[in-house]
Amino acid sequence: MPDNQSENQSENQPETLLDTAYLRTEANPDDDAARLAFYARLAEAELFLLLETEARGDQLSPRVFALEDGPVVLAFDTEARLSEFTGLPAPYAALPGRALVQMLVADPEAGLGLGLNLGVAPSSRLLPAEILRWLADTLENRPTELQARASEVFAPKGLPDTLLTALDATLARAGGLAVAAYLAQVAYDDGSRSHILAFVGTADGAEPTLARAVAQALTFSGVEAGALDVTFLEASDSFAARLARVGLRFDLPKVAAPTGHTPKAPGMDPDAPPRLR
């Protein structure tokens, strides 16, 4: 059995991307970008929520702990960490951080907070209900969908590297929702200029999901949503061809076609977050 010193050293060593993002906020407490990056990682991460009983369809019964600062549920970013905390087999549900946050704020009167990786990781922390409400509101921000007519198209210019990195990571997780996306600068008929992200070959019904993903990348890069317009084009559209000549292209991963009906686990449908029982 390892001694306490070894255990403490282990707890302070980052093992996951969430650990790394959290430790960066600890090392740079006044860095807004670091804090935003942590919340972005939390929203993107797959979390394992400790349950009272096994899930029933899209209905979950989280185990609630009454703490001095209010009730909290517990979630971990690996199954191993959940097992380390409980010390014995326990029911749990795996769902994206975004879906978990939406679920917890759905009933404001409950005032549920989130205990993240408590006691088992460098990213161990308590997130009170007010932070979860802020995060849920932030995740609902959406960029403007293009309405005006673009008269000229240029290569993208002046966007921060943090946004480009965030877009690249976000679109890499959006496999199957579109074929590609082009980032470019455009001039509109009214004389205004903006940047645009145009999706080509978008899957049926995927537009809201992609718009939310782009909004998240913008928000957690510290960029105003109005700095980037979004549009959806057919591959045969002449405007898509113009964008392809000067724009920065992001290829979205291809996914294999499903061989049959596979029920979605709770929280995996962004338009239907799981419900508490």
In order of start, what are the domains of the chain with their CATH numbers? 4-139 (3.40.1350.90), 144-251 (3.30.429)
Residue 276: pLDDT over 60: no
SS3 string of the chain? CCCHHHHHHHHCCCCCHHHHHHHHHHHCCCCHHHHHHHHHHHHHCEEEEEECCCCECCEECECEEEECCEEEEEEECCHHHHHHHHCCCCCEEEEEHHHHHHHHHCCHHHCCEEEECCCCCCCCEEECHHHHHHHHHHHCCCCEECCCCEEEEECCCCCCHHHHHHHHHHHHCCCCCCCEEEEEEEEECCCCEEEEEEEECCCCCCHHHHHHHHHHHHHCCCCCHHHEEEEEECCCCHHHHHHHHHCEEEECCCCCCCCCCCCCCCCCCCCCCCEEC
Residue 248: pLDDT over 70: yes
Residue 11: pLDDT over 70: no
- In percent, the amount of the chain with pLDDT more than 90 equals 51
Give the pLDDT confidence of 183-201 residue by residue, as tens digits.
999 998 878 888 999 999 9
